């Protein structure tokens, strides 16, 4: 099913469609290019995507992972309005290994210059937990003499570049950022993990998982 428009063939003509896309690095979460931008857009995938779909939320061009698209009005509010407390989980490769104190500061909700972040769930990924992630293209620039670590951050708000700003505020700049989960559905469960750029329509069961608390 990856990368194919099957809704009509499956008789899904009246209900809206909900798609999962593994957004690659270097792609804007929009169909319209920005002036003088070096980044690609979703329009580069448009010949394969169904008509009239739009992204639910966004991932920055230099971020990767699970992005949902739909042609249904109102889904953005259901997923992104903080009143609905809908959780998204991000896997974040940071410079240096954070101590427990830094994780506690993240979990408590750090104070940024323009925003006080809500409390969240933060943990270090277990050794090998991120091993299934495909390499990033282009590769992450790392310093050979500086360790790095993968974190999981689960939050219910999405300010501009919030995750990157939060990790930098506790002394651990983000090197790579991937959205791992929306609601109860992970990127791995979509079957798209190994194929950045691939997409498919979600099943009714997967759709219910997305909207689970």
Q: Within the chain, how many helices (H) and strands (E) appear?
A: 5, 11
pLDDT at position 3 is 54
Q: CA 21, CA 30: separation in Å to the nearest integer? A: 13
Q: CA 201, CA 167: separation in Å to the nearest integer? A: 33
60 a catalytic residue: yes
Instruction: Examine the pLDDT at 209 and tell me if it is beyond 80.
Output: yes
- Classify residue 30: in a domain, yes or no: yes
- Classify residue 12: in a domain, yes or no: no
Helix ranges (DSSP H) in 71-176 = 75-80, 100-108, 162-169
Domain that holds residue 166: 87-181
Q: What is the tens place of the pLDDT at every residue in 55-69?
A: 998 899 999 999 999
Instruction: Examine the pLDDT at 15 and tell me if it is beyond 70.
Output: no
CATH code of the domain covering residue 107: 3.30.70.1560
Residues 177 and 198 in one domain: no
Q: CA 24, CA 37: separation in Å to the nearest integer? A: 16
Instruction: Examine the pLDDT at 11 and tell me if it is beyond 60.
Output: no
Residues 118 and 150 in one domain: yes
Residues 71 and 150 in one domain: no
- Classify residue 7: in a domain, yes or no: no
Q: CA 140, CA 64: separation in Å to the nearest integer? A: 12
CATH code of the domain covering residue 189: 3.30.70.580
Percent of the chain with pLDDT over 90: 75
Residues 36 and 103 in one domain: no
**Do 60 and 176 touch, CB atoms closer than 8 A?**
no
- Marked catalytic residue, from 44, 60, 62, 148: 60
Q: CA 142, CA 24: separation in Å to the nearest integer? A: 19
- Classify residue 2: in a domain, yes or no: no
Q: What is the tens place of the pLDDT at every residue in 159-204?
A: 899 999 999 999 999 999 999 999 999 999 999 999 999 999 999 9
- Say how many domains are in the chain: 2
Q: Which residues pair with 200 in a beta bridge?
A: 20
Instruction: Examine the pLDDT at 213 and tell me if it is beyond 80.
Output: no
Helix ranges (DSSP H) in the chain = 75-80, 100-108, 162-169, 187-190, 204-210
Cis, bond preceding 138 (omega within 30 deg of 0): yes
| Residues in CB range of 94: below 8 A, 6 or more apart | 148, 149, 150, 151, 167, 172, 173, 174, 175
Residues 206 and 136 in one domain: no
Residues 177 and 194 in one domain: no
Percent of the chain with pLDDT over 70: 91
């Amino acid at each position: 099913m990856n990368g194919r428009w099957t809704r009509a063939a499956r008789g899904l003509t009246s209900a809206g469609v909900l798609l999962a896309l593994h957004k690659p690095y270097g792609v804007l979460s929009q169909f319209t290019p920005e002036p003088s931008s070096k980044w690609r857009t979703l329009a580069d995938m448009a010949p394969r995507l169904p008509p009239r779909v739009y992204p639910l939320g966004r991932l920055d061009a230099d971020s990767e992972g699970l992005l949902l698209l739909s042609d249904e009005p109102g889904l953005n509010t259901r997923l992104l309005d903080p009143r609905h407390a809908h959780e998204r989980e991000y896997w974040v490769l940071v410079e240096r290994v954070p101590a427990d104190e830094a994780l506690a500061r993240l979990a408590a909700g750090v104070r940024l210059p323009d925003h006080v972040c809500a409390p969240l769930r933060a943990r270090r990924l277990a050794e090998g937990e991120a091993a299934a992630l495909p390499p990033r293209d282009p590769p992450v620039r790392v310093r050979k003499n500086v360790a790095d670590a993968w974190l999981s951050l689960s939050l219910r708000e999405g300010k501009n570049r919030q995750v990157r700003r939060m990790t930098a505020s506790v002394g651990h700049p983000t090197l790579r950022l991937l959205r791992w989960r929306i609601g109860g559905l992970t990127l791995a469960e979509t079957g798209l993990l190994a194929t950045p750029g691939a997409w498919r329509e979600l099943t009714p069961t997967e759709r219910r998982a997305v909207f689970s608390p």
